[in-house]
């Protein structure tokens, strides 16, 4: 029997916060995305894996979603909604696939047994969803005259189940479910709801309490505990990689007719920096410092000035891409410190705006970004006003630390 697994990882993780993609957050030394993909690549009942990802991860996929040759692994660009991402992946599934399994990348602890039981239930009943019984008393809420929430009904706890993934479907059932969602304009939170909409009964498979979904950074604390208790943490018995430092340096000539862009902010000046991109020495130095801390080379390796796609590129964008690169290694930026060496103009009036822009690009609080200006006291090309330079230090740390 041919079984296709779809990993839904095309979202931006808005509720997770920050600029880092949620699926690249690390638990026990491995990203959520890697753990979820690996669970299905290694499962003997799964014939192929299709991963729906944001465009930037399809363009530059982490090594662990490229497959190990044991079975086909294909990447598709996700859609605006979860069901759109699943539909894109469904369209890429092998024509001979009889069962389609859908799983959230944000559930990193799915077990092989739960995958197997969900597939078996779909083969028997047409559609199946992993779910756990509610443990607490469930209240349906309404609103009083003041708009405050009040209990309108107490629901029988034994009738309430909390849906998880994986969810598995015979091919024709999922096809009908996706079509029903599109036809009715429904924005569903899972495929089981769409299968219900299409008139199919969905079998409940007893889920796993540890098969948690990571929604906010607070969930990572519980996830780390689960990883440690199940022996899934790569940190076990190893020194914690809580901090690594890197340094960066950049220098550009100054000429008339070019804007002077520092930290993403255009500063009024008679001359600006020459470069292939926007020649932002602040962002370039910070980018090199972050890459150096992660032992990933330098800015020229990842964004070479021989590549036309980086012509005139925003250095803030390059900085954001760099943050995603280190996230794939399980790291996030702790703080950065930059010194700009420039004779004129003074950058002090623009420092606050620069710090805000750099912080947004990195996905950290502006309080973790330091930018200061110095002159070179008339010494060398920088001192003569012919060039601008920047030095940077960046501290990176394990995600969740």
DSSP state of 302: H
C-alpha 345/C-alpha 323 separation (Å) is 30
Please tell me the predicted confidence (pLDDT) of residue 79: 92
Please tell me the predicted confidence (pLDDT) of residue 291: 95
For the chain, give the mean pLDDT. Answer: 91
| Residue ranges matching CATH 3.30.1330.50 in the chain | 244-398
Please tell me the predicted confidence (pLDDT) of residue 60: 85
185, 157 contact by CB (below 8 A): no
Helix (H) or strand (E) holding 39: helix 32-41
The helices-and-strands tally (H runs, E runs) of the chain is: 12, 18
Q: Which CATH fold topology does 3-143+154-229 show? A: Spore Coat Polysaccharide Biosynthesis Protein SpsA; Chain A (3.90.550)
C-alpha 196/C-alpha 202 separation (Å) is 7
C-alpha 2/C-alpha 99 separation (Å) is 7
> Which residues 6+ apart lie within 8 Å of 53 measured at CB?
9, 10, 23, 61, 65, 75, 76, 77, 78
User: Which residues in the chain show pLDDT less than 50?
Assistant: 236-241
**Within 10 Å of residue 166's Cβ, how many Cβ atoms?**
29
104, 165 contact by CB (below 8 A): yes
The string of DSSP letters for 233-300 reads -TTTTS-----EEEEEEEEEEEEETS-EEETTEEE--SEEE--SS---HHHHHHHHHHHHHTT---HH
Q: What does DSSP say about strands 3-8 and 99-104: parallel, antiparallel, or unpaired?
A: parallel
Please tell me the predicted confidence (pLDDT) of residue 361: 92
Q: What does DSSP say about strands 271-273 and 369-374: parallel, antiparallel, or unpaired?
A: unpaired
In percent, the amount of the chain with pLDDT more than 90 equals 74
Instruction: Dump pLDDT digits (tens) for 286-316.
Output: 999 999 999 999 999 999 988 888 998 999 9
pTM to 2 decimals? Answer: 0.64
Instruction: Dump pLDDT digits (tens) for 171-180.
Output: 999 999 999 9
Q: Counting Cβ atoms within 10 Å, is residue 46 exposed (0-12), middle (13-18) or buried (19+)?
A: buried
C-alpha 177/C-alpha 201 separation (Å) is 11
Please tell me the predicted confidence (pLDDT) of residue 18: 62
Instruction: Dump pLDDT digits (tens) for 199-241.
Output: 999 999 999 999 999 998 889 889 988 888 777 765 544 444 4
Q: Which CATH superfamily is domain 244-398 in?
A: 2-C-methyl-D-erythritol 2,4-cyclodiphosphate synthase (3.30.1330.50)
C-alpha 78/C-alpha 53 separation (Å) is 5
Q: What does DSSP say about strands 265-267 and 271-273: parallel, antiparallel, or unpaired?
A: unpaired
Strand blocks (E) in 116-270 = 127-133, 138-143, 149-155, 161-170, 203-206, 244-256, 260-262, 265-267
């Amino acid at each position: 029997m041919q079984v296709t697994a779809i990993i839904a990882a095309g979202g931006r993780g808005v509720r997770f916060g920050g600029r880092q993609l949620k699926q690249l957050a690390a638990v026990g030394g491995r990203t959520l995305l890697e753990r979820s993909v690996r669970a299905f690549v290694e499962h003997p009942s799964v014939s192929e894996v299709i991963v729906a990802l944001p465009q930037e991860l399809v363009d530059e996929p982490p090594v662990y979603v490229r497959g190990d040759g044991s079975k086909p692994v294909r990447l598709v660009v996700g859609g605006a909604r979860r069901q759109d991402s699943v539909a894109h992946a469904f369209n890429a599934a092998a024509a001979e696939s009889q069962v389609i399994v859908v799983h959230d990348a944000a559930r990193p602890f799915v077990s092989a047994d739960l995958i197997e039981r969900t597939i078996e239930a779909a083969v028997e009943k047409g559609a199946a969803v992993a779910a756990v019984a509610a443990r607490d008393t469930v209240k349906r809420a309404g609103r009083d005259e003041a708009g405050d929430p009040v209990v309108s009904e107490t629901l029988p706890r034994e009738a309430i189940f909390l849906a998880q993934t994986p969810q598995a479907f015979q091919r024709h059932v999922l096809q009908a479910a996706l079509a029903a969602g599109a036809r009715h304009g429904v924005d569903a939170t899972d495929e089981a709801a769409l299968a219900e909409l299409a008139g199919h009964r969905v079998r409940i498979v007893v889920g796993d309490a540890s098969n948690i979904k990571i929604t906010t950074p607070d969930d990572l604390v519980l996830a780390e505990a689960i990883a440690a208790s199940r022996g899934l943490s790569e940190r076990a018995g190893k020194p914690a990689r809580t901090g690594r430092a890197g340094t960066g340096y950049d220098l550009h000539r100054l000429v008339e007719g070019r804007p002077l862009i520092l930290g993403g902010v255009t500063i009024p000046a008679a001359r600006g920096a020459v470069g292939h991109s926007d020649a932002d020495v602040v962002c370039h130095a910070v980018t090199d410092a972050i890459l150096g801390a992660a032992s990933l080379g330098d800015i020229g390796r990842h964004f070479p000035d021989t590549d036309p796609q980086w012509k005139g590129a925003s250095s803030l964008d390059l900085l954001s891409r760099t943050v995603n690169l280190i996230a794939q290694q399980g790291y996030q930026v702790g703080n950065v410190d930059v010194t700009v060496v420039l004779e004129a103009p003074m950058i002090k009036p623009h420092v606050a705006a620069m710090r805000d822009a750099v912080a947004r690009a990195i996905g950290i609080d502006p309080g973790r970004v330091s930018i200061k200006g110095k002159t070179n006291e008339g010494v060398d090309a920088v001192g003569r006003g012919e060039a601008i330079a920047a030095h940077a230090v960046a501290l990176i740390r394990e995600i969740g630390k």
